Structure 1
Amino acid sequence: MRTYAGAPHLLIRFKNQCRVMLSMKILFIHQNFPGQFKHLAPLLAARGHQCVALTLRAKEPANRNGVRLVPYRLPKRSGQNLHPWLIDLDTKLTRGEACYRAARALRDKGFTPDLILAHPGWGESMFLNDVWPAARIGLYCELYHQADYPHLHFDPEFDKGDAELSRLRIRMKNLNNHLHAPIMDAGISPTHFQAETFPEDFRERITICHDGIDSAVARPDPDVRLTLDDMPELTRADEVITFVNRNLEPYRGYHIFMRALPRLLVERPDARVVIVGGDEVSYGPRPPSGQTWKQVFIDEVRADIPDADWARVHFAGRIAYDDFTRLLQVSRVHVYLTYPFVLSWSLLEAMSCGAAIVASDTAPVREVLSHDDNGRLVDFFDGDALVGEVCDLLDDEAARRRLGEAARATVLARYDLQTICLPRQLDWVSQIMDGAPV
């Protein structure tokens, strides 16, 4: 498995490579394009490559940032009786067939890609080698599902049913990964933790390179001002505690944070707590029928929080990226919790903004944060320790400044979009086309 040390000469070497790389036809596959190809796709288009994306997200054909979007649809299917462990694969096969049909139509119109870059997680790319057998294929290797602790049974509260059967079900979820293995010329994974979930025959073809954090946008701003609906204007003078998920759910520790909230509000009578995230489920179990995890845990703690304190808790839902950045810039302490799972962009963006962070002491987090070096780490399940570390940082401006500066320095050294990650991604593309081992 190839890794990178971030040497300054890499960018120079890469630029020299790009000058001689011939113009290519590149096909992107992502169910929510651009997804993880947000920066790579337009850069390749700007360098003269013909870039096309097959996507379910677009409603009409369009050209976005130099990439031609070709929309397609999933077929309507009647219900069928399936073994529950096959439902996941069935969904992926449905998407794979739909993408195959769209790819075949694209081929019949004369488009033949030299390179296919795909996120295989939803199954769309599993048959593309049948359409274009000569195309080189690079896959975004996000996660291989592990059927043992701590990937499974990490949080006993949400373990349901037969534990031994759960291991079998999780193994079945990897059928999609194995269907992609024979067609993958090379893979890319954003963290060591994620790459190392894959078996050795995958890992030897995976380059570790993060998607990249735009540190010129996600940066400290002492003069930041933020106004969101139903909230007073916030500045760096306010004591703001932030918690961010794509969706508010147990996989990202929402239940742990909410259970710590009554004590946190008592300990910090001037603090405002801003919680960002949607009501859906991205990962893990679904809430009881007709409910959301957000409301389940509000209901659990609300009786323990006086109305005056509850008025200092703000659920912002999903917000525009500019507001999200300003929120991280205004945050006095940012809390990030996660199971041993895919690392969130939001943690690195908070680090890039110079936030003082209290995070769960779990494997993906330890890859980027060290306790009292560039953040504070607590046991995922220890709400009292979480409150203690948050309060300690709120009382210690020097520690906040030291940890925030170190957190940003980590991003600049290892995850910066322009100086580190994009050069590595483009080097990866070049090596795929050269046929060099990656």
Structure 2
Amino acid sequence: MSAFTPRRPLRALFVHQNFPGQYAHLAPALAQRQGVQVWGVGEKEGYAAPGVRYVAYGAPRGAGEQTHRYLRPFEAATRRGQHIANRLVQLRDKEGLNPDIIVCHPGWGDGLFLKDVFPRARTLFYWEFYYNSHGQDLGFDPAQQVSLDDAARVRTLNATQLVSLQGADWGVSPTRWQRSRYPAWARARITCLHEGVDTARCAPRAGAVFRTPEGREFRQGDPVISYVARNLEPYRGFPSFMKALALMQRERPDLHAVVVGGNEVSYGRKPEGAPDWKTKVLAEMEGQLDLSRIHFTGRVAHDALHDLFRVTRAHVYLTYPFVLSWSMLESMACGAVVVGSDTPPVAEAITHGETGLLVPFFEPERLAATVLGVLADPEGHRHLGEAARASVIARYDLARICLPRQLDLVERVAAGLDPAPDPEP
């Protein structure tokens, strides 16, 4: 696909609550193009990249306690959107900010009023996840009964996105399944385009070593498996993994597991009767686990995470039908043999028996048996890791596929042209 060349220098504004977020590669790459002016706006201080002028807007006020429970997320989003709009008015009037295109993740309310500040600017929004009361995360756990209250609350959660859709000229979703969650009328103006995987950085490397915080070292060939999530919680299958790990430890007294993730709650509910899910699960499984062979690292540096993917015998990735984690694709790019949950986001990226292995989310016995099979015959499963890397290169490679398409999309939307045809099947 040939890149579209804009008629005049481009002025772009990126807006993301946790800037740069999904724009970590796109914003700096756009800024390196001749004559292009790039601004970045986010909540926190500290971002810097060549060519990107970054402005932090600070934390806005949240919702009030007297607000209806369903409406608190929308009130918080409205306050954030208003806070950002006022800051952008200052930048417009005092510093001449006047973008041709605004690229924004609107999930927290950042995109609500951008068109009111810059009515002539074109907008390209990142549509990550549309909430539904069936067919995805809510009610996925068979033990969870979806009440009318749950369904109504989830329906109302889409208020921020629905208002933001009015101000979006075009949109992007990272996977076909995430795009499919949006209403048909919205999907007509959403391109499926992943932010990309740096397959040069995320790659196999002989001699890799992963060191735990307590100083334990693991190398390629060691009987070690891995589990990674932003936070250890049910949405990412932490309880299921720990139940499977107890079964695996009985069969393999030499097995070690590295568990990466924090103890907060990113998605879903907080546990009852415990400060976090790790504490709750370990209390429920007291006496069933050999904790000396489980290495809880908390969150680790990105490069260290890649070393873990290089040395692991099997990487376990479980998720509800929800947003697909970057970590899974990066583990594939590093050549890891992934044993994942047979849920739509994972099945879109992994073909069972070809680029990884898929198991039912709520069957720890199947998970344990599958991982033990990989451990027992690493050579017989090596082709899965090799094919996984080849698949990521073919579908999600940052330099060759995703970033050029992102740059082309930004410039076409800015010029008021229809985006190039989507090559995704």
Aligned equivalent of 2:43, options 53, 56, 64: 56
Q: Distance in 2 between matches of 1:184 and 1:368?
A: 28
- Once the two structures are TM-superposed, the CA of residue 413 in structure 1 deviates from its matched residue by 0.4
1:381-402 Cα shifts (integer Å, max 9, x gaps): 0000000000001111233211
Cα 1:53–1:150 change in 2 (3 A) is closer
- What residue ranges of structure 2 are gaps of 5+ in the alignment? 420-425
Q: Equivalent residue for 2:163?
A: 179
Paired residue for 1:5? none
Name the structure 1 match of 2:201.
217
Q: How does 1:9-48 map to 2 (within 5 A)?
A: 10=1, 13-14=2-3, 17-18=4-5, 22-48=8-34
Partner of 1:101: 86
Equivalent pair of 1:247/1:282 in contact (CA under 8 Å): yes
Query: d(CA) in 1 for partners of 2:400 and 2:165?
Result: 31
Tell me how far apart the structure 2 counterparts of residues 373 and 63 of structure 1 sit (CA, whole Å).
41
Residue equivalent to 1:387? 368
Cα 1:22–1:289 change in 2 (3 A) is: farther
Contact (CA 8 Å) 1:248, 1:279: kept in 2 or not?
A: yes
1:202 is aligned with what amino acid?
A
**1:248-295 deviation line (CA, Å, top 9, x unaligned):** 111000111012221111112111100000111111112226611111
Residue 317 of structure 1, CA deviation: 0.4
What's the CA shift string for 1:287-330, capped at 9, x where partnerless? 2266111111111113212xxx3211000100011111111111
Q: Quick one: which of 101, 121, 146 aligns to 2:107?
A: 121
2:423 paired residue number:
none
Cross-structure match for 1:297: 281
Q: CA 1:77 to 1:331, structure 2 compared with 1: closer, same or farther past 3 Å?
A: closer
Matches within 5 A, 1:156-167: 156-157=142-143, 159=144, 163-167=147-151
**Higher mean C-alpha deviation, range 120-129 or range 230-239:** 230-239
CA distance in structure 2 between the aligned counterparts of 1:337 and 1:304, rounded to whole angstroms: 21
**Deviation (angstroms), 1:431:** 1.7
2:15–2:102 CA contact under 8 A, matched in 1: yes
Q: Is the 8 A contact 1:21 1:430 kept in 2?
A: no
- Per-residue CA deviation, residues 405-435 of structure 1 (Å, 9 max, x unaligned), is 1100110100000011001111211220232
CA-CA distance at 1:33 after TM superposition: 0.4
How far apart are the structure 2 equivalents of 1:299 and 1:368?
Answer: 34
| Superposed counterparts of 1:276-355, under 5 Å | 276-288=260-272, 291-305=275-289, 309-355=290-336
Residue identity matched to 1:417: L
1:437 Cα shift?
A: 2.4
What do the CA deviations read for 1:45-79 (whole angstroms, capped 9, x no partner)?
111321111111216xx642321111112344684
Name the SS of the counterpart of 1:358 in structure 2: strand
Partner of 1:133: 119
Deviates more, 1:76-85 or 1:284-293: 76-85
- Residue pair 2:115, 2:167 contacting (<8 A) in 1 also: yes
Compute the TM-score of the two structures, normalised by the length of structure 1: 0.92
Question: d(CA) in 1 for partners of 2:72 and 2:287?
Answer: 39
Does the CA-based 8 Å contact 1:240-1:333 persist in structure 2? yes
User: What's the counterpart of residue 70 of structure 2?
Assistant: 85
Give the aligned residue type for 2:397: D
Aligned partner of 2:422 in structure 1 is none
Report the Cα distance in structure 2 between the residues aligned to 1:399 and 1:51, rounded to whole angstroms. 49
Aligned to 2:184: 200
Structure 1's 63 and 229: CA in aligned 2 closer, same or farther, altered over 3 A?
Answer: closer
Q: Quick one: structure 1 residues 41 and 333, their matched pair in 2 at CA, closer, same or farther if it must change by over 3 Å?
A: same
Q: TM-score, normalised by structure 2?
A: 0.95
SS across alignment from 1:359? strand
Q: Does 1:232 align with 2:216?
A: yes
Structure 1 letter corresponding to 2:385: G
For the residue of structure 1 that corresponds to 2:38, the secondary structure is: strand
For 1:344, give the aligned amino acid. S
Alpha-carbon distance in structure 1 between the residues aligned to 2:128 and 2:60: 26
Task: Return 5+ residue gaps in structure 1 as ranges.
Answer: 1-9
Q: Is the 8 A contact 1:205 1:437 kept in 2?
A: no
Aligned letter for 1:52? W
Shift of 1:149: 3.0
Cα displacement string for residues 129-184 of structure 1 (whole angstroms, at most 9, x for unaligned residues): 10000000000010111121343200133x36x61221111110011111011111
| Counterpart pick for 2:358 among 353, 377, 381 | 377
Quote the RMSD (CA, aligned, Å). Answer: 1.5
One-letter code aligned to 1:83: H
How far apart in 1 are the matches of 2:13 and 2:53? 10
Counterparts of 1:212 and 1:230, CA distance in 2: 33
The residue aligned with 1:146 is 132
1:360 and 1:227 mapped to 2: Cα distance? 27
Question: Which runs of structure 1 show a deviation greater than 6 angstroms over 4 or more consecutive aligned residues?
Answer: none
Q: Which amino acid aligns with 1:117?
A: V
